[in-house]
A and B are shown apart, each in its own frame.
Chain A
């Protein structure tokens, strides 16, 4: 595992210095800071708009960073020939891919910690009467965004083993959009008994293959403070477990392809 950890550390070091990622991060942080100003325009409650808007910024910024960061990880190593010096050492290809993935997740974590810190600060400044409970509740959302982005990074890493970065951006972005916006629809369709078996089968297939990214967006529970799930911990554990299984599947599939790939 030494090799995996070393490759992951180096990947983090490279990622947090990539200008394009830093610019995206800066734009995200900038929007978080000016978000309270924008919420004045809304007739709705400040709390609702501020929470919804800032969490939306974090989700969007993180998704863009996750895709842009991950799609170039393998191609850059091949183009710069660093992969040859690494693979000529006693390093298996799966070590390399796993190290790269963990490095991407590590860099994502650091960037999301920064955005979450700004989020909490802005929230505390604008919502002076907010309780510690409200702050903690708000801080929970980025944790699940991080799980969501780790899953998205695994999807992008899988595609990067056999498609070019540009194609990968569209593929990973497409999977993320389908999984975020339409996953509940496909879930409903697959459970609808009035539909034909063919339609139900197709809906089930899409719902199974495309990860359900929508379940990690827990902001409605934060905004609409109402009755909670009987066992919220169990629900959280379930969706984290779901992410881990999908991450493992995508990474193993990626490793199998990468193992046979001629670099």
Chain B
């Protein structure tokens, strides 16, 4: 069976046009069968509460392809951990279907091929790193001490493997968790907040390890609030809010449609009114115009118009859409988004007025 990721890379980043029963994708270059590591259809989990039934997960359709790093995002209480628990068979869904590695969720055969690292894991503190790894190995019927040593060395715990867990830092405990999660050479790893609360060095180490997992052909399913990490390492993401799917897809597609900020001096207020639309934000103060326009609006035409009235283009700053923006759009109320955008524009405007330069983090293109 062809791997979706490989074929897609070969054909470019074009998304499949059509999915039939979620198994076939049609690309410009041809058809391919999808090989899904995780799939849910109308997955729903409802709890009975004193105030009536409460759905934590609602009709969730999720597709995670083999060999990819998949980011599963959502605010606290969005239903991420509940979904992971259903996929692991720790709890049952109220309705809908869930399959993991081709078997129904919770199937013991799938458990031989997957691993799970929970958020803030606890390990029996009286045991050493080696003992805890051997304990988890024994749950697979593995009695290979060398394998445990090798895995502990791989996560840089070679020198500390015989120290009790009680003496380990948070980062070291997380690395023990990763070592135990590799014992069965898993095809699929569930990582719940793998970098949460770690110092920057441990953070980078864990992130690099996750990238290596993908290079080894494993599927990694990450639930995280570290959006910068997710943006950096994930191939695809799903964002859920209040148990419902808001977005799912490749990051490059979800983050397409960026904005461009054009700053110009010596222009008239009449010109600034010309650029105002529902999609753009324009501010004008003391002859300086700052226009924040979608990249679909053809910035060349805006620049030509500025030059036509004798204005000077000071800067053109392409603003790529970030995952943080998409996340906020997906989970926050409209007022929060507008307020954030306006305050951002005001801050940028002040920066321009104050320094005559763009804000430092963005790529600047001089005219």
Contacts and interface: CB of A to CB of B under 8 A. Distances in A.
Contacts of B140: 89-90
B139 A91 contact: yes
A231 to B, nearest CB: 43
A19 interface: no
Given A13-B126, A80-B122, A85-B121, A263 B90 contact: yes
A17 interface: yes
Interface in A68-126: 80-82, 84-92
A6 interface: yes
Contact of A85 (B92, B109, B117): B117
Contacts of A5: 138
B27 interface: no
Nearest to A95: B139
A80 B116 CA distance: 15
B5 interface: no
A262 B141 contact: no
A14 B135 CA distance: 13
A9 to B, nearest CB: 8
Interface residues of B, number: 33
- Determine the main DSSP class of A at the interface with B: helix
A224 interface: no
A45 interface: no
A85 B124 contact: no
B121 A88 contact: no
A237 to B, nearest CB: 34
A17 to B, nearest CB: 5
A42 interface: no
B130 interface: no
B120 A88 contact: no
B88 interface: yes
Interface string A1-41: 01101100010011001000000000000000000000000
B139 A90 contact: yes
A87 B115 CA distance: 10
Contacts of A14: 124, 126
A89 to B, nearest CB: 4
Interface in A226-247: none
Contacts of A88: 88, 90, 111, 114-116, 190
Contact of B124 (A10, A84, A87, A91): A10
Contact of B112 (A17, A82, A90, A262): A90
Interface residues of A, number: 22
B126 A2 contact: no
B108 interface: yes
A38 to B, nearest CB: 36
Contacts of A80: 122
B136 interface: yes
B91 interface: yes
A92 B139 CA distance: 10
A146 to B, nearest CB: 24
B116 A85 contact: yes
B25 interface: no
A262 B116 contact: no
Contacts of A2: 138-139, 141
B13 to A, nearest CB: 33
Contacts of A263: 90-91
Contacts of B184: 89
Given A88-B190, A90-B111, A90-B112, A82 B90 contact: no
Contacts of B90: 84, 87-88, 262-263
Contacts of B121: 81-82, 85
B139 A84 contact: no
Contacts of B120: 81
A254 B120 CA distance: 28
A64 B135 CA distance: 29
